A and B are shown apart, each in its own frame.
Chain A
């Protein structure tokens, strides 16, 4: 983003909105590691559509995995992973 300055385009504002948790696109190695740790096939993760605004913003392609870091009332920060699907 443009160096701390408030961005003007709506697409980037999505990232700044306080109700939008932090999304990170994983590299292939990271993704494989996550899958191994959780012992799941990618499609057993919760899905997110590639057309989802946040996925489009990250440039996620179907088959990618996105890490979501949410604020949680019980645990402080909770980490979730989502599998990008067509759509």
Chain B
């Protein structure tokens, strides 16, 4: 390690001059041969040992360092004739157009040059954009001149023939690189400034290569294959090609070969140097390996997703991480993650030995690397790492532990680890969990944290990272812990909460009709480790019985008030006052549920203004997390006790219902027929801005959609709260009325691109219909339900509609992913200053106050300073008007 400390003040890019390349070179490369017959690298070849060490143990022929220390050294190759650097063709083109062909000055008058130069210098630092447009202006002005204002020479038009040939039309014809180099080197430095070049670091003649730097071997390592064969890096291959072409050209020049041959060889050299730099140039044949694979040359190493920038600098691979399939575990806390033993024994955390933990540390060391909880490494005070796999006497090592040692111990229960699921679109996509080491091979997580990760268990995998420093662990615990992320900054409500069975269970438990025996109550309370008093039974005789509301109330803080409509409270079950038969208005006073049930709008995830939301904001996230842990376990235990399932009969429509629904569909068919007749007779009134046939389609879709909803409603009307499917839809646990409609009434209109399905044969979708048939069935209206089953034709339409859904999701994810990337890249460096303004990293103001009101949505009641309604409820337990 170097001891000197230096501060980087800035970075400036420039072009290497020929002299620079020669100066930094340790050797000239002169021969295309790489190895001699013994396989030893030849001096003067591209694998010259002076370019750096390759084998471990060797010492560098140039710097004397070993493999780890030697930085590698550049060589150089003298080209027989200069060639154009393909990365600079556009600059060269600009300069050739803007400067005089005979005196090589900018084609702008002397006074103007001076004026522009002083203007440019003043603009450069403060107004870089303006400086750029000034440069652009000068370039254009200079390019337009037909006569040089300095020497009066007539100018010819210079043309660029892609990729790298310059032609002076009517003048000298083709401009060879040596001529161009001469031209460019004649341009005075003072003129270059107004053309936007910095002559200190970027003299234009350096854009023409006559000395090629040969990168150190470390940049292009060769690999030894299993067969003992050596495979060289693509760059090495390309360098050999260049040297060969160069040798040939040199020979031709020395032997005084005809000009055409020289020119051809020169072209070839130009091609090789070009593809060495960039092998994806338009109009240039790509250089290929013998296998036909295009060579990965310099530009290819840097470009794109897997390139140096996006692949290695912006994104790196990390240690101390694990990835495996996830599965659910309702017995965990929401803050926890279940980690398999195998993972826990691979991931380690360095722990410093102190007098207070030395016994524990000895135990870990004694257990060794193969027994959990053990340790994989011990680092002694001198920094030496001992791999416990190879330590024979663990006992002796454990004895010798002293404060000052570090033990890299296995992950144990209670450690914090970062848990992540891609795509990480969210800050909640990475959260800290407490580790719980468990048997099995999957990561286990609590179901309530599925929404923030957008995870399910159909094969999803997730990543786990073990923070290595005390600081990192502290930060993870204080900021990233699941419970600290319950409230989403997106809408201020809880993103973590009840889903699916938690909601069904909560509903069933808090039903008015739920009465529990003492045994049941004990069972339920035992699952949540309840240790307080059991409340007075609600019913004393003939047997003591408790209501579910009583049990649920035990989890609420005693000073908690809440009143709110439940999801059930709609339609015929609507409740707006305390005295309501349907029991769908939840009333909590002093921590007791007086009326109402628990469903999605009470404990659901992504439900702002719910009981859980207020519980968290008023009692803190810790209390909120505790509530969730207990309530959800309680609900699951109860749903297990009573049993909750659905069967085919639950979606079987009632006979009377089906008849009524059928009538609805039939009458809608009649309506559609009428519309079609009107359309054919030309009596249909077109919707403004639509053609007649479009109008017809809109009207038909409208009629059929209404028919579907109506028939669905009639079928659902016959269902009651004894029907589990209906319960799930009504409480918000899973499914919707539309789903029920499709299962037991009608599937409805299938569509592709929002239109009725019409593609297929001429005038008809399938040969089973008459051409021009516009009736509902012929265009994809499915009158069957999933219960009844679909006819073959209906299956076809359903598949057509379903396919569109799949394609849509595939297309949408890629498009929105790219949009997200662009957005994040644009916004990532913005921050909120202490004065609440949003600024860029250059200090530019983006917003004068964050969000114009400087409000953190997680900490306020929907942007307002106070939520008066809530304060009344909180303190009085009652709100006058709902």
Contacts and interface: CB of A to CB of B under 8 A. Distances in A.
B837 interface: yes
Nearest to A82: B845
Contacts of B844: 40, 44-45
B126 A43 contact: yes
A43 B127 CA distance: 8
Contact of A81 (B127, B130, B848, B855): B848
A82 to B, nearest CB: 10
B126 A74 contact: no
A74 B852 CA distance: 7
B845 A74 contact: no
Given A38-B835, A86-B130, A44 B849 contact: no
A44 B845 CA distance: 6
Contacts of A38: 835, 837, 845, 848
Nearest to A77: B852
Nearest to A81: B848
A45 B845 contact: yes
Interface string B815-841: 000000000000000000001010000
A72 to B, nearest CB: 4
A80 B130 CA distance: 24
Among B126, B842, B845, find the residue whose CB has the most chain A CB atoms closer than 10 A.
Answer: B845
B215 to A, nearest CB: 41
A45 B837 CA distance: 12
Contact of A40 (B126, B845, B852): B845
A46 interface: yes
A75 B848 contact: no
Interface in B842-880: 842-846, 848-849, 851-853, 855, 863
A70 B855 CA distance: 17
Contacts of A86: 130
Contacts of B848: 38, 78-81
Contacts of A72: 852-853
A74 B843 contact: no
A40 B843 contact: yes
Contacts of A44: 842-845
A80 B852 CA distance: 9
Interface residues of B, number: 17
B116 to A, nearest CB: 16
Contact of B849 (A43, A46, A75): A75
A44 B126 CA distance: 10
Interface in A58-87: 70, 72, 74-75, 78-81, 86
Contacts of A43: 126-127
Contacts of B846: 46
Nearest to B127: A43
Contact of B852 (A39, A45, A78): A78
A38 B842 CA distance: 14
Interface in A5-44: 38-41, 43-44
A46 B855 contact: no
**Which secondary structure dominates chain B's binding surface?**
loop
Contacts of A80: 848
A20 to B, nearest CB: 18
A11 to B, nearest CB: 27
Nearest to B126: A43
A39 to B, nearest CB: 8
Given A38-B835, A38-B845, A79-B848, A74 B127 contact: no
Nearest to A42: B126
B849 A78 contact: yes
Contacts of A81: 845, 848
Given A40-B843, A40-B845, A44-B844, A74 B130 contact: no
A80 B863 CA distance: 20
Nearest to B837: A38
A63 B144 CA distance: 33
Contacts of A70: 852
**Most chain B beta-carbon contacts within 10 A, residue among A46, A74, A81:** A74
Nearest to B833: A39
Nearest to A73: B852
Contacts of B851: 74-75
A70 B863 CA distance: 18
Given A38-B835, A43-B127, A74 B842 contact: no
A25 B863 CA distance: 31
A79 B835 CA distance: 14
A44 B842 CA distance: 8
Nearest to B853: A75
B757 to A, nearest CB: 42
A44 B851 CA distance: 19
Given A43-B127, A86-B130, A75 B852 contact: yes
Nearest to B129: A85
B101 to A, nearest CB: 35
A46 B845 contact: yes
A34 to B, nearest CB: 10
A39 B836 CA distance: 13
Which of the listed residues B130, B835, B848, B855 has the most CB atoms from chain A within 10 Å of its own CB?
Answer: B848
A41 B843 CA distance: 9
A44 B849 CA distance: 15
Contacts of A45: 844-845
Interface in B377-425: none
Contacts of B853: 72, 74-75, 78
Nearest to B843: A44
A70 B849 CA distance: 13
B843 to A, nearest CB: 5
A81 B852 CA distance: 13
A78 B836 CA distance: 13
A43 to B, nearest CB: 6
Nearest to A74: B853
A72 B849 CA distance: 12
A70 B842 CA distance: 25
Contact of B855 (A74, A78, A79): A74
Contacts of A79: 848
A43 B756 CA distance: 56
A83 B835 CA distance: 20
Contacts of B126: 43
B347 to A, nearest CB: 44
Contacts of A40: 843-845
A56 to B, nearest CB: 20
A38 B839 CA distance: 11
A72 B848 CA distance: 13
A70 B845 CA distance: 16
Nearest to B840: A44
A38 B837 CA distance: 9
A67 to B, nearest CB: 10
B837 A74 contact: no
Interface in B43-67: none
Interface in B117-131: 126-127, 130
Nearest to B857: A74
A74 B835 contact: no
Highest count of chain A CB atoms <10 Å: which of B844, B848, B852, B853: B852
Nearest to A43: B126
B137 to A, nearest CB: 13
Contacts of A41: 843
B865 to A, nearest CB: 12
Contacts of B863: 74
Interface in B98-134: 126-127, 130
Contacts of B845: 38, 40, 44-46, 81
Nearest to A39: B835
A74 B863 CA distance: 7
5 contacts: A44-B842, A45-B844, A46-B846, A81-B848, A86-B130
Given A40-B844, A74-B852, A75-B853, 6 more contacts: A40-B843, A40-B845, A43-B126, A44-B842, A44-B845, A74-B863
Interface of B: 126-127, 130, 835, 837, 842-846, 848-849, 851-853, 855, 863
User: Which 6 A-B residue pairs are closest in the complex by CB-CB distance?
Assistant: A75-B853, A78-B852, A74-B853, A75-B852, A72-B852, A44-B844
